[in-house]
Chains A and B, each alone.
Chain A
Amino acid sequence: MSMSSKLKEALIGLKAGCVTLDYPAQPRPVASNFRGRPIFDAQKCIGCAGCANNCPAREILVFDVCQEIRILTYLGRRCTYCGRCAEVCPEKAITMSQEYETATNHIGDLQQRLDLFMSTCQRCGRCFKESSPLEQLKLKGYRIDDLEHERWIFRSRAYLENEPAADDIEIELD
């Protein structure tokens, strides 16, 4: 317990002055590549669900109401701000803004919900092409993520809830 080292310690503290940042009174700038909250631009989104498929926290949910309307919901709760959705988006509809002041008392405040019109093909009436020509004739590929329980479901269905199983094209082989 040497006095001189304690005195030096006190002098160092005093010489540094008062380094406290005046934060809520004055805004703090962030670095230029800071990833804050993702913002979804509904004008550019084509509803491909690439962001939902790539989100590591499964935080983007997709639900097909019918052939032409797809609901894309970003719940901001467990988003890790990794930026994969923005990186993967083909239309650059997602931007990682620089907002970090996202505290709230109601967790639903962070939600961004897009009800998107999916243009249907003028030929076949579907929104996306299937992998093989045979499947292209048959499968509609409706997404069924669970919106009430906010759960991501890994499959898609060939038919919508209120329509019977798809049976629209019959393939005739001679």
Chain B
Amino acid sequence: MTRIIAGGLANVAAVLLLAPLCEGVLRKVTARLQSRRGPPLWQPYFDLLKLLGKEDIESGQSPGLQRFVARLSLAAVLTTACLVPMGFPAPMNGAGDVILLIYLLTLCGICTLLGGLAAGSTYSLMGVAREMMTMIALEPLFAIALLIGAVHAGSFRLDDVLNGSVYAAKGIPWSGLIVLGVMVLSFQAFVQRAPFDMSEAETEIMEGPLMEYSGPKLALFKYARAARLMVHSGLFIALFAPWGSELAFPLGWLLFWAKMLALVLLVTAVAATHARYRIDQAIRYFAGLLAAAFAALALAGYGH
């Protein structure tokens, strides 16, 4: 029991402390790829602290819902973090299984929708429409990856599935390789970075669903966005690159963080060199990936 609570708290603390650092690494490496010096690594911490100190202007159609959604977004991501193995097995794997994980991930996306709808201005609604279209095409991809793992492992328990079970077929794991390719090609969209950040962070072209938020609520949304990067990376590593997690405590843990850093650098490199996709281009892209994922699911059903 105490192990569960300690593990959960450790995960949540790790995400809270290190999520802005991941975003700092992302901004610094983006700057270096663009031949400029870039902000210091601790810049997102300064940003969040400054946002917490600003006045909170309550505008938008339903301020009460705005307050609720701001807290819900960070809470949903932190709850998902309790189910992610970060160097040691997922602390709350007795509390839920893969289905709960899929729903929690969808909840993280729905928070953005609710945020934009609560604000109710024209630009927010445009961002919400794009986010809805993206979510419909995107969430099934991760769900199918988890389902393939569940099919191979034969159960829905988290520590069975999040253990590289996608590769567990006899012979060459075709379904595992196909779904690995699908996930690699669509990982950028899960963490909402270029080229797929059309919906939320599109502050350059339209303001997106976050337009009417200011001060502390905006800090919570930005925190949630940075934390999503970490949580999704953790899930990706657990599902597709779990090698080395059986090592003894310090090594396995450090290896996990090394893999996380490598994944963040990969996300940064792709984000810095790609331009943003239009929504229809992105949907067509995801449709192709969905077809491949369904093919992989069918193959998994047949045991490959």
Chain A residues close to B by CB (< 8 Å): 1, 6-7, 9-10, 13-14, 16-20
Contact = CB atoms under 8 A, between A and B. Distances in A.
Contacts, number: 29
Interface string B255-291: 0000000000000011011100000000000000000
A18 B37 contact: yes
B273 A20 contact: no
Contacts of A20: 35-37
B34 interface: yes
Contact of B273 (A10, A16, A17): A10
B35 A6 contact: no
A16 B32 CA distance: 10
A10 B274 contact: no
B37 A10 contact: no
A19 B33 CA distance: 11
Given A1-B274, A18-B35, A18-B36, 16 more contacts: A6-B274, A7-B273, A9-B273, A10-B33, A10-B269, A10-B273, A13-B33, A13-B35, A13-B272, A14-B32, A14-B33, A18-B32, A19-B35, A19-B36, A20-B36, A20-B37
**Overall SS of chain B's interface:** helix
Contacts of B273: 6-7, 9-10
Nearest to A5: B273
Contact of B34 (A1, A6, A7, A13): A13
B35 A16 contact: yes
B198 to A, nearest CB: 15
27 contacts: A1-B274, A6-B270, A6-B273, A6-B274, A7-B273, A9-B273, A10-B33, A10-B269, A10-B272, A10-B273, A13-B32, A13-B33, A13-B34, A13-B35, A13-B272, A14-B32, A14-B33, A14-B35, A16-B35, A17-B35, A18-B35, A18-B36, A18-B37, A19-B36, A20-B35, A20-B36, A20-B37
Interface in B92-146: none
Nearest to A11: B33
A1 B274 CA distance: 9
B134 to A, nearest CB: 17
Contacts of A7: 273
B116 to A, nearest CB: 28
A3 to B, nearest CB: 10
Nearest to B35: A16
Contacts of A10: 33, 269, 272-273
Contacts of B34: 13
Interface string B29-66: 00011111100000000000000000000000000000
Interface in B224-278: 269-270, 272-274
Interface string B172-208: 0000000000000000000000000000000000000
B277 to A, nearest CB: 9
Nearest to B275: A1
A17 B33 CA distance: 9
A19 B273 CA distance: 18
Nearest to B274: A6
A20 B39 CA distance: 12
B137 to A, nearest CB: 17
Contacts of A16: 35
A4 to B, nearest CB: 11
Contacts of B270: 6
